[in-house]
Structure 1
Amino acid sequence: MTNAIEVHDLRKEFKAYSSRSGLKGAFRDLLTRNYKVVPAVNDISFTVKQGEMVGYIGENGAGKSTTIKMLTGILTPTSGKVTVNGMNPHKEREKFVQTIGVVFGQRSQLWWDIAVQESFRLLKKVYKVSDEQYDEHMGHVIKTLDIEPLLDKPVRKLSLGQRMRCELAAALIHNPPLLFLDEPTIGLDVLVKLKIREFLKEINEKYNTTILLTTHDLSDIEALCERVVMLDEGKIIYDGALKGLKDEWADGKEIRFQFLEKVDLSSIEQATSEMSIKWELDEKDQTFVAYIDDSDQMISSLIGKVTSLYKIKDIKIMEISTEEIVRNIYEKGRV
C-alpha cells in the first residue's frame, strides 16, 4: 500500500516579537525589535497510508493547524521533508492542489454573497471537472449531505451546520484522493455531526479516500479513526492505534452518580477522602463522576460508602472515556 503522506523531520519556526516598556522602549522598537524563535512544529516524522483515516490531536497551540498548513502547501517548512500524494506541496502547487480537499472549520472556501450552487460552479471550473464527472459525483454528495434545499441560498443566509455541510461538499467537487479536515464539526449540533461522520465513512469506503482529521471533539476520532497521532508542544508523543492508547492508559473506571437530593461536590470529596478517587461534577445533567482504579473491591467500597450517605437516583459504571485518557496524558506530560 502506497503512502499518501510522508513527513520526515518536519520543523516550522516563527519569530515571536516582544515590545519594550515605556516611551523610550517604543522608540527603540522602531529601530530594532526583540524577538525569540519559537518552534511550532518540532522535527516530527510520520506516514499516512492511502485509504487511512487518521486522527491528529493535541491541545491548543500543540502545532496541529501549522502541520496541516505545511502539508497543504499554505506554509513553507523551516526544515524537513514533506511528500503528499507523491509531490512536494510547495514546489508543485498547481498540480498538487488538484489532488487534495481541505475543510477548515474556522474559514470558508465558499463565496459569501452568492448562492451555494454558484460557488460550486466556480470551483468546478477551477478544478477543471467535466459536466459528466460533476453530475455523477456531486449528485451523490449533495443527496447524502442533504444540501439540495440550500443550493439556491447565499452562503451568508446559512446556519453554521448548513454551511459546514456545503463546505465539505465543496472540498469534494474534484473527488480528491486525500482530504484534510481541520475542526470540521466545531460548534455543530449532534444530528449534523452524525450526518458528517456517516458521510466521511462512506466516501472512505467507496473511493478509498485518505482522511487526516484534527479535532478537539474526541467522539469524532472514536467514530472515524482507528489510528491517532498525538502532538504536544510541536512534538509527536503518541502514534498508534486508538485501542492501544486506551489499553495503555485506561487503567480505571468511571462511576457516574445521580442523586435524588442536592449534593455538594466538596462534601462528597470529604466523605471519600480516605479513598484514592478524583471527583468531578458534570453540570450538564448534575452527575457526579468518580475516576477510580479498576479494582472490584475499590468499586464496591465506593458504591457502598456513597449509597450509605446519599439517596441515589442512578449509578453507571463505565470505561474511562478517550477524552479523560487524553487529558491524563497531557497532565502528566508524556505517554
Structure 2
Amino acid sequence: MSLAIDVHNLRKEFQVQKNREGLKGAFRDLFRREYNHVRAVKDISFQIPKGEICGYIGENGAGKSTTIKMLTGILVPTAGDIRVNGYIPHKEREAFVRGIGVVFGQRSQLWWDLGVVESFRLLQKVYRVPDGDYRLRMEELIDRLQLGELLNRPVRKLSLGQRMRCELAASLIHNPSILFLDEPTIGLDIVVKTEIREFLKSLNSRYETTILLTTHDLQDIEALCSRVIMLDDGNIIYDGGLDELKERWGKGKEIYFRFAEAVELDHLRAQTEGLDVEWSLDNELTAKVWIPQKRVGVSDVLARVVHVVGIEDIKIVETNTDDIVREIYKSGSAETKTAPNSEREVAAHV
C-alpha cells in the first residue's frame, strides 16, 4: 500500500500564559510570567493511502487544525514522526510544498486587491509551473469551476462562494497529489457546496488526488468520504469506514406511513408479528414504525403492510451522521468508539 500520509505518535504541546487577576497580578506578570502547559495533540498515529478521501472531524478544540498545520509544515511537532509524500513537512519545505495544495476556509491565498487571474499568475511563478502546463491546467479549472466571469475581478469584490471556487483553483495550479481542505464550504449556500463537492469527487476520480478534509459540515463527509478519523481532546477516538460508523452507532430507521383510510394500532402490529419492530400511531391516518439497526429489513416490513392496508405516502428516515457523531461525543468511553483496523495504526488514549 502506497502511503500519502504516514503519522506516528504525533504530539503538539503549547505554553499558554496565565494572566493573574487584578492590577497587582498584571504588574507581577510584567516581571515573572507563569504558563499553563497544554497538549493539543496527544500521540496520535494514522496512515492515509494515496488516492483516498478521508474526513478528519472533531469538535472545536479537538486538535484538528493543529494536526493540519503540522501536516502542512506550518507548525513543528513537539514529538512524533510525520511523512507526507515521503517528506518531513517542517524540514523539507521547498520540495514538500510542490506536491500539496491547501485551502483554509477562513484564510485566503489570493491577493485581495488584485484581479483573480493576476493572483493565479503570481502563484504560477511561486510554484514554478511551466507556461504550457499552466495554460492547460487553468483551462480545465476555469471550465470545471465556472471562473470565466471572475478572472478580472478584484478578489475583494467576490462573494464568499466565488472566492472559495477561486481558492480551490489556486490550490490546484501546480497539480498537487495531496489536497488539504480545512472547512472549505464554511458559510456557503447549498448550491455552491454541491458544486464544490462534485468537483472534488471528479478531481479524486480523475487524478487520484489524496484529500484530507476537515469540516464541521457532516454532509461534506457523507458526500465525499469513505473513511473518517474522529478526534476528541487531542485523541483519535474513531478511525474507520463511514458505513461502519453508521452500522455501529446508527439507531435504525423509521418508516412514516400515511394511510388512505383509518387504521388501528393492533391491526398494524398484527401484520408485522414476529418482526422486531415498534409501531406508534400519530392519528387514525398516520403511523410510524421503528426498525432496529440491521435486525429487520425495510422491505420485510413494507411487504407485510402494503398488500393489506391502503397507503397514500411513505417516508423512510435513517439516523444521519450528525446524530451519530453527537451520540459518540456524549458517550464517556473512547474504547467503545474506536474501530480496530489491522491496516491502520491507531493510537487512542483517554
TM norm structure 1? 0.84
Counterparts of 2:240 and 2:115 in 1: how far apart (Å)?
A: 42
Task: State the 1:187 CA deviation.
Answer: 0.6
CA contact (8 A) 2:256 2:287 kept: no
Q: Determine the structure 1 residue equivalent to 2:91.
A: 91
State the match for 1:284 in structure 2.
Answer: none
Report if aligned partners of 2:180, 2:213 keep a CA contact under 8 Å in 1.
Answer: yes
What's the offset of the Cα at 1:316?
Answer: 3.6
CA distance, structure 2, for counterparts of residue 253 and residue 192 of structure 1: 30
Q: Which residue number corresponds to residue 59 of structure 2?
A: 59
The question of whether the paired residues in 1 share the 8 Å contact of 2:17 and 2:35 is answered with yes
SS in structure 2 at match of 1:106: coil
Q: Secondary structure at the match of 1:46?
A: strand
Contact 2:257 2:286 in 1 (8 A): no
Give the structure 2 partner of residue 47 of structure 1: 47
Question: For residue 140 of structure 2, what is the aligned residue in structure 1?
Answer: 140
Deviation at 1:246, TM superposition (A): 0.5
Q: CA deviation digits over 1:9-51, x for unaligned, max 9?
A: 0000111222111222111111112221111111000000010
Superposed CA offset, 1:39-90 (max 9, x none): 1111000000010100001111110000000000000001000000000001
Structure 2 residue 138 is matched with structure 1 residue 162: no
Counterpart of 2:283 in structure 1 is 307
69-78 vs 16-25, which moves further: 16-25
Residue 311 of structure 1: how far off its partner (Å): 11
- What is the CA-CA distance between 1:327 and the residue it aligns to? 0.5
Cα distance 1:254–1:321, how it changes in 2: closer, same or farther (>3 A)? farther
Corresponding residue SS for 1:86 = coil
Equivalent residue, structure 2, for 1:277: none
Map of 1:215 onto structure 2: 215
Match of 1:329 in 2: 328
**d(CA) in 2 for partners of 1:93 and 1:197?**
29
- CA deviations over 1:129-177 (Å, ceiling 9, x no partner): 0111011122111100001110000000000000000000000000000
Q: What is the CA distance between 1:297 and its match in structure 2?
A: 3.9
Bigger radius of gyration, 1 or 2?
2
- 1:1-335 residue pairs with structure 2 within 5 A? 1-253=1-253, 297-298=277-278, 300-301=279-280, 304=281, 306-307=282-283, 316-333=315-332, 334=334, 335=337
Moved more, 2-11 or 33-42: 33-42
SS of the residue corresponding to residue 228 of structure 1 reads strand
Q: Is the 8 A contact 2:10 2:82 kept in 1?
A: yes
Deviation of the 1:307 alpha carbon: 2.2
3-state DSSP class of the match of 1:90?
A: coil
Quick one: structure 1 residues 332 and 132, their matched pair in 2 at CA, closer, same or farther if it must change by over 3 Å?
same
Q: Could you report, residue by residue, the CA deviation over 1:83-109 in whole angstroms, capped at 9, with x for unpaired residues?
A: 000000011001111110000000000
Cα distance change on mapping 1:257 and 1:68 into 2, 3 Å = farther
Instruction: Give the Cα–Cα distance (whole angstroms) in 1 for the partners of residues 319 and 76 of structure 2.
Output: 39
| CA spacing shift, 1:311–1:116, aligned 2, 3 Å | same
- Runs of at least 5 residues in structure 2 that lack an aligned partner in the other structure: 259-274, 289-311, 338-350
TM-score scaled by length of structure 2: 0.80
Distance in 2 of aligned mates of 1:236 and 1:149: 43
Contact 2:124/2:174 (<8 A) preserved: yes
Structure 1, unaligned runs of 5 or more: 259-294
Q: Give the distance between the partners of 1:163 and 1:257, measured in 2 at CA.
A: 44
| Amino acid across the alignment from 1:143 | D
Deviation at 1:319, TM superposition (A): 1.1
Secondary structure of 2:141's match? helix
Deviation at 1:309, TM superposition (A): 11
CA distance in 1 between counterparts of 2:67 and 2:314 reads: 42
Q: Is the 8 A contact 2:185 2:193 kept in 1?
A: yes
Cα 1:331–1:151 change in 2 (3 A) is same
Task: Give the 3 Å change call, closer, same or farther, for CA 296–235 of structure 1 in structure 2.
Answer: same
Matched residue type, 1:234? G
Identity rate of aligned residues, in percent? 65
Pairwise CA distance, 1:296: 5.3
What's the RMSD between the two structures over aligned residues?
Answer: 2.1
Measured in 2, the distance between the counterparts of 1:256 and 1:233 equals: 39
Deviates more, 1:246-255 or 1:127-136: 246-255
Whole-angstrom distance in 2 between the partners of 1:23 and 1:256 = 63
State the match for 2:269 in structure 1.
Answer: none
- CA shift in 2, pair 1:96/1:252, >3 Å: same
